[in-house]
């Protein structure tokens, strides 16, 4: 039991480090893509999705909170708050869909709904920070990009699972996308 716990702690640390690296890479790539302000690709969310689907809600929640703390430390209080609200909303949406529909829902649907949930969570948090609903004017842009970025993170997760399976590091159901 202790070895299993140690493995889980080590894997959580590696996943958090991967999320940080993906966040940094995303920050370098996003300006080159000409994305509108506040639109993120969401590469670090691949790590949270992996944790949710293969390690459980508790580990995914832990990683989402750690990601928000990293944002808080590197980008400030407002960015940390937006990250926390978006991450928790996204996680809740994906967990509920995954729990309610089990194998009937694809990674693509979970990822897109998670991205949309992330954007809604951030818009609500931004409205709270601003003290009015002015932030909701940005909703159409964020929701359109949520669809696109949800596809990107879904593709990233599917590719990651395929590579892990190919490397002999797990027997993942990468065919779920086709169901």
Tens of pLDDT, residues 98-141: 999 987 888 899 999 999 999 999 999 988 888 887 778 888 88
- pLDDT of 2 reads 58
Q: Which residue has the tokens 């590197």?
A: 74
Terminal-to-terminal C-alpha distance of the chain = 35
pTM recorded for the entire structure: 0.84
- pLDDT of 174 reads 45
Confidence check: pLDDT of 22 > 50: yes
**Cα separation of 115 and 94, whole Å?**
9
Confidence check: pLDDT of 143 > 80: yes
pLDDT, tens only, 35-50: 877 778 888 888 999 9
**Cα separation of 99 and 49, whole Å?**
14
3-state SS assignment for residue 131? coil
Share of the chain above pLDDT 70, in %: 91
């Amino acid at each position: 039991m202790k070895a299993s716990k140690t493995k889980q702690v080590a894997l959580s640390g590696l996943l958090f480090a991967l999320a940080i690296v993906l966040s940094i890479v995303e920050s370098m790539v996003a300006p080159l893509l000409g994305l509108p302000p506040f639109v993120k690709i969401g590469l670090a969310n691949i790590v949270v999705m992996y944790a949710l689907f293969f390690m459980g809600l508790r580990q995914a929640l832990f990683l989402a909170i750690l990601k928000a703390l990293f944002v808080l430390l590197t980008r400030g209080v407002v960015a940390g708050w937006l990250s926390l609200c978006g991450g928790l909303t996204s996680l809740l949406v994906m967990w509920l869909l995954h729990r309610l529909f089990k194998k009937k829902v694809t990674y693509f649907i979970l990822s897109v709904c998670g991205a949309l949930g992330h954007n809604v969570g951030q818009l609500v948090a931004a409205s709270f920070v601003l003290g009015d609903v002015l932030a909701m004017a940005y909703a159409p842009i964020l929701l359109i990009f949520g669809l696109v970025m949800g596809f990107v993170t879904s593709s990233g997760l599917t590719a990651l699972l395929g590579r892990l399976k190919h490397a002999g590091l797990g027997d993942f159901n990468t065919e779920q996308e086709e169901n």
